[in-house]
Amino acid sequence: MIRAARSARAGILLTCLILLTMVPAAGQPESREMTTYSLQIQEDGSALWTVEYRTLLAGAAEQGTFGNYTRDLASVYLPQFRELMERSASQAAVATGRTMQARDFTSDSALQSVPTGTFGVVRYSFTWTGFARKDEGLAVGDAFVGGLYLTRDHTLIIHPPTGYAVQQADPAPDRFQDGLVWYGMRSFGPGEPEVVLAKEGLPLLLIGAGGAAGAIVLLVILLWRRRHPGVPPAPGTSPPTEVLPTGIEVKNLEDRILLLLEASGGEMYQSEMTQRLGMPKSTVSAALASLHERKAIVKVKKGRENLIRISREIPESR
């Protein structure tokens, strides 16, 4: 199991950084390239991905090189891209416990002349089913098990579905217009960026803007209570009911915990783990107790916190 977790970690870490190797085959310097990852989230939890590479072409010779490159786009580079993303979706499915699939891959290319010069543009598009977690709304981010890395001149855009508002975005985007926009250079941690979406009509979190203070305070309280189910509810409300996990659910969660630990360098505080998994404390505690009993993990007391580490011993079979 540990070997499988390490394999998944190696395959999914820094997906965006790996993708950057696809276009330099055209022979263009990085400083003249711009890459945009655009994710259109769907109401069913799937995401329509578009990865666009724009390369400045100086003169007829470079335009000819670009033309030679794009002739192999469908037969050589699209299959490579498809294999990479299919593997990433498969590994993310193991880490999150959701059914996922990358499908419907297409590619196209074009020359675009603008006042600043002529650009060669290559686009890859596909659908990633199960990308967002469906709960009361939609939660985006847990499929990025190993985090993301954006280099200079690279941009990530997440578009909510029509009729959905942003309740949370962590880390905050650099721009919030026609989608949530993050610019490179920057590095995201495991499970980031984390975006929570809800049907419009609920309080809207205005990122980086003033005003609507009452709605924002209310939203912060609701989100805080959602992450701290042990806190007494407000007067006139009913406390949340936690359902005890079944044996099958616990075993599936154990695999996810081990993958999460591997992706985080082998250790993580239990409170952070519970938050990233998005599950009740009692459910996570039950899975950790089973892993500890099999000597797959070690619990280290750090003040009032439990630090969970992967054991260096060979875990007992279950």
pLDDT digit of tens for each residue in the chain (318 aa)? 444 443 333 333 334 433 433 333 333 333 478 899 999 999 999 999 999 999 999 889 999 999 998 999 999 999 999 999 999 999 999 999 999 999 999 999 999 988 878 999 999 999 999 999 998 899 999 999 888 888 888 999 999 999 999 999 999 898 887 789 999 888 888 899 999 999 876 544 434 333 333 333 334 433 433 444 444 434 333 333 334 444 444 556 788 888 788 777 788 889 888 887 777 888 888 889 989 888 889 999 888 888 999 887 655 555
CA end-to-end distance (rounded Å), the chain: 12
Run of H or E residues at 267: strand 267-269
Cα 166 to chain centroid distance, Å, stands at 16
Which residue, chain included where needed, has tokens 């508002």? 165
Taking the model in full, what pTM does it have? Answer: 0.58
| Residues 69, 89: Cα–Cα separation, whole Å | 27
CB atoms within 10 A of CB 130: 20
Q: Which CATH class is domain 247-310?
A: mainly alpha
Which positions ≥6 away from 100 have C-beta within 8 Å? Answer: 89, 90, 92, 93, 128, 129, 130, 131, 143
| Residues 106, 2: Cα–Cα separation, whole Å | 35
Q: Which of 55, 68, 67 is nearest to 24 (CA)?
A: 55
Which positions ≥6 away from 181 have C-beta within 8 Å? Answer: 155, 156, 157, 173, 174, 175
For CATH 1.10.10.10, the residue range(s) in the chain are: 247-310
